[in-house]
Amino acid sequence: MVLISTFLFFLLFSTSHAHLAPRTLLHSFSKSSTNSNRSLTTKELWFNQTLDHYSPLDHHKFQQRYYEFLDYFRVPDGPIFFENLWGILMRWDSQRLYRRESLRLITVLAKKFGAAVVSLEHRYYGKSLPFKSTTTENLRYLSSKQALFDLAVFRQYYQESLNLKLNRTGVENPWFVFGVSYSGALSAWFRLKFPHLTCGSLASSAVVLAVYNYSEFDQQIGESAGAECKAALQETTQLVEERLASNKKAVKTLFGAAGLEIDGDFLYFLADAAAIAFQYGNPDKLCPPLVQAKKDGEDLVEVYAKYVKEYYVGNFGVSIQTYDQRHLKDTTLSENTGDRLWWFQVCTEVAYFQVAPTNDSIRSSQVDSRYHVDLCKKVFGEDIYPEVDTTNLYYGGTNIAGSKIIFTNGSQDPWRHASKQISSPDMPSFVMSCHNCGHGTDMRGCPQSPFNIEGNAKNCGSPDAVEKVRHQIIEKMDLWLSECHASGRSSM
């Protein structure tokens, strides 16, 4: 999911995200940039948001947090970038978002267009909490549909507030929507459902296709890894399964994951550890040591355990409890509540079940659809099931019938198969190809170890490929925003 004539540029990031089962989307922003001193703003602002946009009888409200950065805003007719804070909120306070170097491209664009930046926090995440606990009953208003209406309602509120500040009435600004990962999907869906409120959208690594059995995820890992690394990973999985059968406590302890009592949770944890290397542009951290160990006859399980503990848990910063179903059942509010929230969205709307393919799988065959369905039922209740067909019917999946939406994907990103990769009229799709072009590469570049979400294009295997797509994005923005500006409308 990715702000007089002004355009409001909805920057809807994800991590996330993706999540994501969905845990790899969940970890889209699982490492904050504590070393960066760049800070746009940390001043919290609040908006009284409608809880249920679909009920004419329920008028309950909740406080939704947002931020604004106006240093580059060209009064009165400059653009505004508006982002929906999602992925990073799963583990940290939203204020840290503004210390992320990943905003570099956004600040460059803000300066170029004379834009303000406005950021709205996704409902339920961070401090935008409708309830004091996350019981399944309380989560009934957590959905992409409600989130899209949040954006639309807030957009109207912010527009009216801006007009009031500028002592004008009835002025409609050109808006543009923008996002990465799940928020990239929200970006595309916002343009689809509210075309009168935006001039266009950028949907970076946008997972617009809900998928029940997402076996393409594992297949892409194998393709991105190459023959030697894929073989080493497959052998490692086989050895881990054998040791689980003979002495599960010892092998789980080796990976620092003795607390994961359910074997499926443990095997999912190991599968995600490998996937992250390709998803976020760090294949060299995983493959060369593992391939060399296989050639030298070393213990692949020990070598892989070293990678998992030092990189995935250490540098990348994943919390092992994210994979523990007991943790996911916890309904109390904490800094890790986002784990449960995203799983609820997965278990009700989009699935993205990262199952092992029938043949030639890297991940364990125990990570199957039954594992995911059982998790959803155990964590949220027997009646919980992902309505994938309904979601795709509502949004269109990769056959989305929108316009003026830019889709971008990295060639090595396992999530790209849930995105729109084929251009259609008025919806260009660009794929950046290089050995480490992953999730959100157009916005975040190619991070390398230690994990740094502020990665830039020069770290990509083909910097020119990334820069070319960035120029294409700017060209489309210029065109669509100019068309809006010329018409005097906020959308076209």
Whether residue 389 lies in the annotated active site = no
User: Cα torsion at 81, 184, 62, 43 (round to 10°)?
Assistant: -40
Query: Which one of 380, 403, 428 terminates a domain?
Result: 380
Whether residue 413 lies in the annotated active site = yes
**What does the pLDDT read at residue 16?**
36
Q: Is the residue at 387 inside a domain?
A: no
Which of 144, 181, 215, 419 is an active site residue?
A: 181
Range of the domain at 221: 213-380
Q: Is the residue at 18 inside a domain?
A: yes
Query: Which one of 351, 380, 409 terminates a domain?
Result: 380
What pTM was computed for the model? 0.90
| Residues 416 and 402 occupy one common structural domain | yes
Query: Which one of 334, 355, 380 terminates a domain?
Result: 380
**What does the pLDDT read at residue 40?**
54
Mean pLDDT, residues 199-227 = 96
| Residues 370 and 407 occupy one common structural domain | no
Which of 439, 442, 485, 491 is an active site residue?
A: 439
Neighbouring residues of 337: CB distance < 8 A, sequence distance ≥ 6? 90, 134
Q: Is the residue at 308 inside a domain?
A: yes
Q: Is the residue at 3 inside a domain?
A: no
- Distances from the Cα of 214 to the Cα of 22, 49, 394, angstroms: 10, 34, 19
| Residues 330 and 406 occupy one common structural domain | no
Q: How many domains, in total, are found in the chain?
A: 2
| Residues 269 and 400 occupy one common structural domain | no
pLDDT band for position 99 (cuts 50, 70, 90): very low
Mean pLDDT, residues 92-117 = 61
| Residues 219 and 200 occupy one common structural domain | no
Which of 150, 368, 413, 442 is an active site residue?
A: 413
CA angle 353, 357, 359 (to 5 degrees): 170
pLDDT over 90 at 6, yes or no: no
Query: What pLDDT digit, counting tens, does each position of 393-428 carry?
Result: 999 999 999 999 999 999 999 999 999 999 988 999
Nearest to 271 by CA among 312, 242, 327: 312
| Residues 164 and 276 occupy one common structural domain | no
Strand partners, 11: 83, 178
